[in-house]
């Protein structure tokens, strides 16, 4: 039981650390989006491209944050580490790399 408790504590610490990084990334991207280049008909500002790139990165980071929050909820409910498709345990190696994943490697390969 202690080993399982340690694994849960490690998973929680990993997820919380990853969440803190993503929150910082979201805040940084929001700050960069405050400045938007301008362009008129026939002219373009290179900042527009950077602004749109930052917007896409922000959307991706927000999605990642939601996935981390979902993983933390699953941890609280005691179902973290179970594949949402087949119900089998997700490989510990996979969780170590993708701590927010909800599918095992076999189901992830089938999805492709």
Residue 26 shares a structural domain with residue 72: yes
Residue 10 shares a structural domain with residue 30: yes
CA gap 31, 23 in Å, rounded:
12
The model carries a pTM of 0.83
Residue 14 shares a structural domain with residue 48: yes
The number of folded domains in the chain is 2
Residue 72 shares a structural domain with residue 96: no
Residue 65 shares a structural domain with residue 85: no
Residue 21 shares a structural domain with residue 65: yes
Letter string b/e over residues 59-87, b meaning 16 or more CB atoms within 10 A of that residue's CB: eebeebbebbeebbebbeeeebbbbeeee
Q: What is the pLDDT of residue 6?
A: 82
Q: What is the pLDDT of residue 96?
A: 87
Residue 23 shares a structural domain with residue 74: yes
Q: 24 φ, ψ to 5°?
A: -65, -40
Query: Domain span at residue 55?
Result: 2-79
Residue 74 shares a structural domain with residue 99: no
Tokens 């993983």 sit on residue: 71
Residue 20 shares a structural domain with residue 69: yes
Structure tokens at 63: 């999605």
Residue 39 shares a structural domain with residue 75: yes
Residues of the chain with pLDDT under 70: 1-2, 4, 38-44, 112
């Amino acid at each position: 039981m202690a080993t399982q408790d340690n694994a849960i504590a490690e998973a929680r610490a990993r997820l919380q650390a990853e969440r803190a990084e993503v929150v910082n990334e979201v805040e940084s991207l929001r700050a960069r989006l405050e400045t938007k280049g301008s362009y008129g008909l026939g002219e373009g500002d290179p900042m527009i491209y950077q602004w749109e790139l930052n917007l896409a990165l922000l959307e991706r980071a927000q999605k990642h944050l939601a996935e981390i929050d979902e993983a933390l909820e699953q941890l609280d409910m005691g179902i973290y580490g179970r594949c949402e498709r087949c119900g089998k345990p997700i490989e510990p190696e996979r969780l170590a790399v993708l701590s927010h994943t909800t599918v095992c490697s076999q189901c992830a390969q089938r999805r492709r």
